Structure 1
Amino acid sequence: MTTAMNRSNHSDSDTDDLGTVISMRDEGTEEVSARLLASAARLSRNAMTEIDWSLPMDPTKYGCSPEWSSLYGTEYWDELTEEQRISVTRHEFASIMCIGIWFEMILQEMVVRDQYLGDYHGSEFQFALVEIADECRHSIMFAKASEKMVGTSYKPKRIVGKLGRLFKATAKNEVAYAGILVAEEVLDVFQRGCMRDERVLDFIRTVNEIHVLEESRHMKFAREEVRESVKGIGWARRQFSALVIAMGAYMIVTSLVQKKAYADAGLDADRARREMLGNAHFHSMIRSSCTHLMEFLDEVGLLTRPAMRYYRKAFML
């Protein structure tokens, strides 16, 4: 299946309802925020009421499209039974959702800190609060979904958790919002590739659809914040910001599928990890998910040579 490769160009347009195109070239953060507030009022959804969490899971359905498994295309994948393949995709996507919760906690703190003593009557301030509310609901949704699918909670490595704590306490301006954009863009393409795949569990497809819908607004907001932040900045700050963003991106992307997920799926975790690291297909899928992100970072002057080294290490370039 090739749906994972199909995506509209986010450098010029975005969708607020999985179909309606919103101009990416609005006049500024305040104008964009006003439009996003109106979109959120019309189109926000709630997984707690929309999904019947009591329904049994179809044992024949995957946790994500097989093509998005980190082992797809490897010799190990070819050796697995269909039951094992289903199990590993469920544990992989549970890991991705749990890492998503971790980063959404970071995101919420950065946005709250950025808007502290902001213009309470302004659209930018009000949409920032909408985004925080969305992320709270998304985190609950991911928690419920991973619990239902595999019953296991995954967290980043201890050192990554500590670095994330430092990042959320210090990142601001273009570093904070570009960091937010990195996490959202990568997961967005993954979920777009899975949400219409009938081989995937129905409730997971709904989770993906809700997240894609609402994150399209968050990504647009983040891009406008980055554009505003980089206006007129000097060479040294640009170089520093680009490097910190890339280091954050490396931590996020390399943490998505935790080694424990392979073990919980009943696989040889060491072998699975080795095969994932050498899996050209998986690396290609990651690069495809980062195409428009890299174009945007280049557009705003945040794709520097030192930064590119980290993106390549994470298979994002």
Structure 2
Amino acid sequence: MKKTMINKHRMLVAVLDFLDKNESKLTFAPALLGYVDSAQDTLARIGSTQEAQLSSSEGYTQTKEAIQQQVIGSMLDIIRRAKAFAFVTNDLILKQAVNYTYNKLNKLPQDSLIDVCNKIVSDCKPKVDLMADYGLTPAMLEAIEPELAAYAAALPGTKQVIASRKTATAELKVLFAEVDHTFKRIDALMDIISAADPLFYQEYKNLRVIDDLRRKSSSNGVKTTGIAGVVSNLETGLKQAGVLVSVVGTNFSTLTDAEGNYTLSLKEAGVYSLKAELKGYNDYEEEDIEVNQGEMTTVDFDMEPLA
């Protein structure tokens, strides 16, 4: 669940707990109790959807990541030996074929990693006997084939995880829209009690504020206008660093930090479109982002790895 959703969920739970503890004060509007019950039911569904989203990621993602690192480790062992042979014999074709490092392999899209590894094995096989003095043997080339097969078998599961996370995110948006609608009715009824019990009403209003530090003024008192958020990996749920986030049609852009955070300061309020790019991932675009003067609009999103 995105940070904005987490903050809103936390706020709504606190509000409902407050109303539940003060149920005796809600009798002035019988319909209010029904709305509170409805909101509690929706929040429960939000919680269960979030749990399902998290649990669906754990098994497949961990398995795929472990196999991927095993494949890369085995392939680097082959590459290192083949590179030594190519360098000594000045085999330019082989040298080009095995010109891969850990970072290059690790950043490849999932299907591309399999293709690259198979190509390297294929290029090494005809010359493997010549590379015996460099420690490369037919057994090493054969040993990586089942690893590649296991990795390929894990990919459909990973794609299922991505599909599940997408579905859960869509469901959460619907559920939050539903609970927002219910709380608008609760807010309207609570306004009725503002004159009769101002302290109770003010405490309710205070709890209805979402805790989002990005919307607060900076320490020097200057209010910033812009867009900020956190970018995650759709497949793993982990924060995604190095994503180029830009405001379409402007020169404003930035990279996400190690924790996936980004901040884009804008000169003026308006309606903007956001685009995010990272090699090995599908581009992300979001339109109609409303930015108010002196406020930071929060836009959290996920980057989906290329298939």
Under TM normalisation by the shorter chain, which class is it? 0.3 to 0.5
Task: Compare the two structures and name the one with the higher strand fraction.
Answer: 2
Task: Compare the two structures and name the one with the higher helix fraction.
Answer: 1
Determine which structure has more spread, i.e. the larger CA radius of gyration: 2
Structure scoring higher RCO (CA < 8 A, sep ≥ 6) equals 1
Q: TM-score, with normalisation over the residues of structure 1?
A: 0.33
Q: TM-score, with normalisation over the residues of structure 2?
A: 0.34
